[in-house]
Amino acid sequence: MGVESKLGNFGVVTTTLEQVVNWSRTRAMWPMLFGLACCAIEMMAAQASDYDMSRFGMELMRASPRQSDLMIVAGRVSRKMAPVLRRLYDQMPDPKWVLAMGDCCSCGGIFNNYAIVPGVDEIVPVDVYVAGCPPRPEGLIHGILTLYEKVTGEKIDHWS
Amino acid sequence: MMEKKIMDETFTVPIGPQHPALKEPSHFRITVDGEIVTNAVVRLGYAHRGIEKAVEGRNWIQNLYMLERICGICSHIHATAYCLGVEQLAGVEVPPRAQAIRVLTAELERIHSHFLWVGVAAHEAGFDTLFMYIWRDRETVMDLLETLSGNRVNYSVNILGGVKFDINEEQADAIRKGLDYLEERTNHYLDVVSNDAMFLQRTSGIGVMTRNQAEVLGTVGPTARASNVARDVRVEAPYGAYFDYPANIVLEERGDLTARFVVRIKELFESYRLIRLILDTLPSGDLETRMPRRIKEGETVCRVEAPRGELFYFIKSNGTDMPERIKIRTPTICNMTSVVKLVIGHQLADVPMILVGIDPCFSCNDRMVILDRSDGYKQQWTWEALRQHGIDYYHEQHS
Amino acid sequence: MGSTTIMNNIPNLVALLIFPAGLFLLLCGLFYEWADRKLLAQLQNRIGPRWFQPLADIIKLLAKEEVIPDGVNPTLFIGLPIIALAGGLTAALYVPIVGLLPSYGLPGDLIITIYLLSLLTLCLGLAGSNTLDRFSLVGATRTLTQLFSYEAPFMLALLGPAFVARSWQISVITTFTNNRWLILSQPLGFLVAVIALMGKLELPPFDAPEAETEIVAGALTEYSGRGLALFRLGKGVALVIGLTLIASFYLGGVTNPFLFFVKTLTLLLVVVALQALLTRLRIDQTVGLWWRYGTLLVLAQWLVTIVWHGVAT
Amino acid sequence: MRKNPLELLRGLWTTFRSMLESPVTYQYPEIKRPVRERFRGRHELKRYENGLEKCIGCALCAAACPADAIFVEAAENTDEERYSPGERYASTYEINLLRCIFCGFCEDSCPTEAIVLEQNYEVSFTSRRQAIYTKDLLLVPVPTNGRQTPMKVPPGSFERAVPEMEDAK
């Protein structure tokens, strides 16, 4: 775990620290540069000038899973890709979040056959699902804001 | 040089399945000596979706939406190829207005795809400013497509026997206005990719493919045309409205990355011309003809020119309301061999550029997945094992 | 006795820990990093990050789990970032940060500063070669290669003003260059110094060592939490020091702090514009550029300066 | 750089010209950019002026849906409890938004233009269960001077199995 494992409960100190840390995490959540299909195109569109995600501290798509906090699964996950995806998730240091972008990775979407994992939450725990095929960049950003709300409410003792 | 001393032994740099240079999963094993690539192996199948099997379980109309989702960039052209094939089988004549609108959408899609590619390639070259500008201007096309069809990526403009949407006058004006802006910008980008000396350093003379190579390796589309191979389905075997609106072929001599940039950017002008022509002389008439629910028995092939090159469909019907077999061959799989050949002898830093030079679309090209490999590697995941390996593991951890 | 020593040392402690080195310097580094990213975004027609962005990044990284991969030497893995940051902070003691006179000074501290600055790059290289990851290895090799290519021109370019000031002590040089705009008399030296600074900080177009599309994150691929934060801070500090050195040497010294601040920001704007304009160079192209053009340019500058002074005296 | 410096500078100038433009970013959460009229967002179940539901529970949309995202269960209307002008109404109407691919095929197949893809694209959930939109979530509010369903109507005011309406597109 991150800072949480080193912390006992110091009452008010913990709460303020909690607020500061959550603040920093929601302001600087670095996504991993990890595209799978059509949705990756819209994810890149959200990175580009028009829907500039650097406003939310996502300026740097981290290429290395070691440095990323958020895995945006953009596109359907094939059976062959699933173990790789889980390994990438393991390589990310805690705390880490997963956002399932689009139908295919949320629940298989239109593909329900032998080759597709019916929902990436069969492989890794997912925090936020964004519907759409693919979602607009605004939709993706809305999903990210939903995730931020979720993270802001987190407590230190829930972390570890 | 320094590197040689430190890493004298050759080792393999794995690129993928997850790698910043790849926007979609695929796997390359690059054997480098210092920084020089000595061998490259490509391994596909990470984006295999079993679509060819899945379409056999849906009726003809539902397959339209299924096949549209083969590719997130060139979705319309997939649907068009499928529709053309099915209409051939059913012996249905599509009204000219519908055909014109199909071609118009296809050309708009070509514009968006080429813009996207130039941006991505600039990003690979480490020229993020160009990436930002290109994608900013690409939004114009996306808005036009959204105005036209109501969606940014999977337009679902086609329906069997026609198109779903009409174009009214104000939309036509919007498209014209957008094209004027894009044309001006495109001139600017053509100037950049052919004059910016720093950019040329990364592109000119890199990944040179001679005309002979291009023909032997069976490349298609802009990749081939950049090596002066006159290969364009719109010209050599026109389909749909391309009879009435003939397209001109764009060729380049050099065959290096610069040529691939220039070819694609010059094709944009061709698309602008076609779209304006279609908008000015849009034939009147209704948008669709009646299609039978069951397609009569038979089989057919259908070739169209996707933004990346020739797209091939084989469709077999057994007289029911579901296809018996649909085989798809996408342009990327034809061009993939050229990458493996071309990277050898280049710097490691050039590999992403050369790879992206063919405009790869891995979700397109993964039509099959190997279960039994020759080297005896036989790891196969049953669904239960995968689930156990995945979410169950984390649930145990948290409980 | 003990108390008196403490009393005597309090100014030093303050200078070391809070101002001008230490905390204040870190905040400066964060600010300049933000200005860099914001300006870059503006040039790319984006809005860009909010003002607290680098601070949030650092806090988040500090509160994050630090993964120590197998096969590394843990001591090195944890120690190297600290050394890098310490080097930067120490270097700041000899440099007129925000236009104040340097807290310490001794003859020849220019050399010390330059080498403390390159300590950061060395630590980067070592950190990369410490891990087993292939990408880190390639990144480390590229980092060191680049170090060897730009170090000499950078040094020579900074020694130009030292030559005309007849001293190797930064404070002396800055007092000499007050209201003397050496950029006019040594334009080539200035150019080389700025570009070499970009190479030192691995900013585009010299970011081949951390080119994400080729080698994932370069030497820092395996660094997750604290280590990454410290390295980022170190780079921020190095950016401040480099800008300060060049501005104070070439742009008319450190007459008043506000003016000096403006000068550094202008310099930063130039750097950012170059970043936005140029495509990433391949590592061999970088080396070629430095040895084929950079060194020659700065040597020519030296020749001119020497001849000129020979004529003048 | 073996090219002559003039060429280099010209190329740089070409890039530099477009750097002096103002940002184009749509600051999304604060400023929402209106979508095009044809945009296909989240579905809505429409009502008639008098408050009756347009959906007659024929489940054609469910049959047409390429992604099997729609589930419809129909029940008989009575004059005491009338939901739709038709013979039957949808007692259960569920759309799994995480399955729906927003292709608009349900819209085309609906005989009474009951289901319409509206312009709301802000559909993100923290659990898959939230993504299943039930009828009360999909149904639009009763228009003014309309009555809440189920409504009691005089007997014999609706006989047709499918209400008469102008030809659908």
CA dist., res. B184 & res. D58, Å (int): 52
Percent of chain C exceeding pLDDT 90 equals: 0
Among the CATH numbers 3.40.50.12280, 3.40.50.2300, 3.40.50.1980, 3.40.640.10, which is that of A3-154? 3.40.50.12280
Crossing angle between the packed helical segments B75-90 and B60-68, to the nearest 10 degrees: 160
CA dist., res. D96 & res. A90, Å (int): 30
The mean pLDDT value for C95-120 works out to 78
CATH class of B51-334: mainly alpha
Cα–Cα nearest to C28, from C115, C92, C86? C92
Q: How far is B248 from chain A (nearest CA, A)?
A: 29
Q: Are C249 and C173 in contact (CB under 8 A)?
A: yes
pLDDT band at A155 (very low <50, low <70, confident <90, very high): low
Which token pair is B274? Answer: 């076609």
The pLDDT of residue A156 is 56
B197 at the C interface (CB within 8 A)?
no
**In chain D, whose CA is at the least distance from the CA of B140?**
D24
Which residues of chain B neighbour D109 with C-beta distances below 8 Å? none
Strand A70-74 and strand A97-101: the pairing is parallel
The pLDDT of residue C101 is 67
Q: Which residue ranges make up each domain of chain C?
A: 19-312
Q: Are C254 and C260 in contact (CB under 8 A)?
A: yes
The pLDDT of residue B4 is 44
The mean pLDDT value for D140-169 works out to 74
Which token pair is B54? Answer: 């899945």
CA dist., res. D27 & res. B98, Å (int): 38
The pLDDT of residue B378 is 65
Q: For an interface test with D, which of B143, B167, B195 has the most D Cβ atoms less than 10 Å from its Cβ?
A: B195
Cα–Cα nearest to C276, from B301, B198, B265, D37? B198
Instruction: Please provide the average confidence, as pLDDT, over all residues in chain B.
Output: 84
CA dist., res. B111 & res. B117, Å (int): 10
D100 at the A interface (CB within 8 A)?
yes
Answer whether residue B171 shows pLDDT above 80. Answer: yes
The mean pLDDT value for C256-266 works out to 82
Answer whether residue B130 shows pLDDT above 60. Answer: yes
Question: According to the per-residue pLDDT averaged within each range, which of A65-74, B31-40, D155-164 is highest?
Answer: A65-74
Instruction: Please provide the average confidence, as pLDDT, over all residues in chain C.
Output: 81
The mean pLDDT value for D95-100 works out to 88
Cα–Cα nearest to C59, from A31, A97, A65, A57? A57
Touching B (3+ Cβ pairs <8 A), the chains are A, C, D
**Which 3 state secondary structure label does DSSP give B311?**
strand
Cα–Cα nearest to B369, from B53, B45, B41? B45
Answer whether residue D168 shows pLDDT above 60. Answer: no
The pLDDT of residue D1 is 40
pLDDT band at D130 (very low <50, low <70, confident <90, very high): confident
In order of B250, B305, C114, D165, the CA distances from B254 in angstroms are 13, 22, 46, 64
Least confident piece of the model among A45-59, B210-224, B367-381, C61-75: B367-381
Instruction: Please provide the average confidence, as pLDDT, over all residues in chain D.
Output: 81
pLDDT band at D156 (very low <50, low <70, confident <90, very high): confident
Which residues of chain C neighbour D27 with C-beta distances below 8 Å? 47
The mean pLDDT value for B91-97 works out to 89
The pLDDT of residue B272 is 92
Answer whether residue B109 shows pLDDT above 70. Answer: yes
Q: For an interface test with D, which of B142, B156, B189 has the most D Cβ atoms less than 10 Å from its Cβ?
A: B156
Answer whether residue C36 shows pLDDT above 50. Answer: yes
- Its CATH architecture, for the domain D42-138, is 2-Layer Sandwich (3.30)
The pLDDT of residue D164 is 67
Please give the interface size between B and D, counted as residue pairs whose CB atoms are below 8 Å apart.
73
The mean pLDDT value for B271-278 works out to 91
Greater model confidence, A131 or C258: A131
The pLDDT of residue A160 is 39
SS3 content of chain B, % helix, strand, coil (to 5): 50, 15, 35
Answer whether residue D167 shows pLDDT above 70. Answer: no
Half-sphere exposure of A46 (CA within 13 A, CB side): 31
**Cross-chain residue pair B349–C214, CB shorter than 8 Å:** yes
Task: Please give the sequence-ordered ranges of beta strands (E in DSSP) within chain B, or none if there are none.
Answer: 11-15, 27-33, 36-43, 158-159, 162-163, 298-306, 309-317, 323-329
Crossing angle between the packed helical segments C295-312 and C134-165, to the nearest 10 degrees: 10
The pLDDT of residue B111 is 92
Q: Which residue ranges make up each domain of chain A?
A: 3-154
Least confident piece of the model among B151-165, C175-189, D37-51: C175-189
Least confident piece of the model among A138-142, B120-124, B165-169, D157-161: D157-161
Query: Length of chain C, please?
Result: 313
Answer whether residue B379 shows pLDDT above 80. Answer: no
**Digit-coded pLDDT (tens) for A86-109:** 888 888 888 888 998 888 888 887
The span from the first CA to the last CA of chain C, in angstroms, equals 53
Which residues of chain C neighbour D24 with C-beta distances below 8 Å? 45
For CA atoms B194, B195, B196, B201, give the dihedral sign.
positive
The mean pLDDT value for C224-240 works out to 86
**Which 3 state secondary structure label does DSSP give B156?**
coil
Q: Nearest by CB to D123, from A110, A119, A131: name it.
A: A131
The pLDDT of residue D169 is 41
**Cross-chain residue pair A63–C217, CB shorter than 8 Å:** yes
Q: The tokens 């840390």 sit on which residue?
A: A21
CA dist., res. C79 & res. C223, Å (int): 12
Which residues of chain A neighbour B20 with C-beta distances below 8 Å? 33, 61, 63
CA dist., res. B33 & res. D71, Å (int): 59
Rg (CA), chain B: 22
Touching A (3+ Cβ pairs <8 A), the chains are B, C, D
In order of B41, B355, B389, the CA distances from B27 in angstroms are 8, 12, 22
The mean pLDDT value for B73-84 works out to 89
The mean pLDDT value for B360-388 works out to 72
CA dist., res. B358 & res. B224, Å (int): 9
The pLDDT of residue C89 is 83
The mean pLDDT value for C82-86 works out to 87
List residues bridging with B329 in a β-sheet: B312
The pLDDT of residue B399 is 67
Q: For an interface test with A, which of D19, D21, D24, D28 has the most A Cβ atoms less than 10 Å from its Cβ?
A: D28
**In chain B, whose CA is at the least distance from the CA of D5?**
B197
The pLDDT of residue B269 is 92
Q: The tokens 């650097």 sit on which residue?
A: A54
Answer whether residue B79 shows pLDDT above 50. Answer: yes
A24 at the C interface (CB within 8 A)?
yes
Cα–Cα nearest to B80, from B193, B233, B223, B208? B233
In order of A108, A121, D96, the CA distances from D123 in angstroms are 17, 18, 11
List residues bridging with D44 in a β-sheet: D116
Q: Are A156 and A134 in contact (CB under 8 A)?
A: no
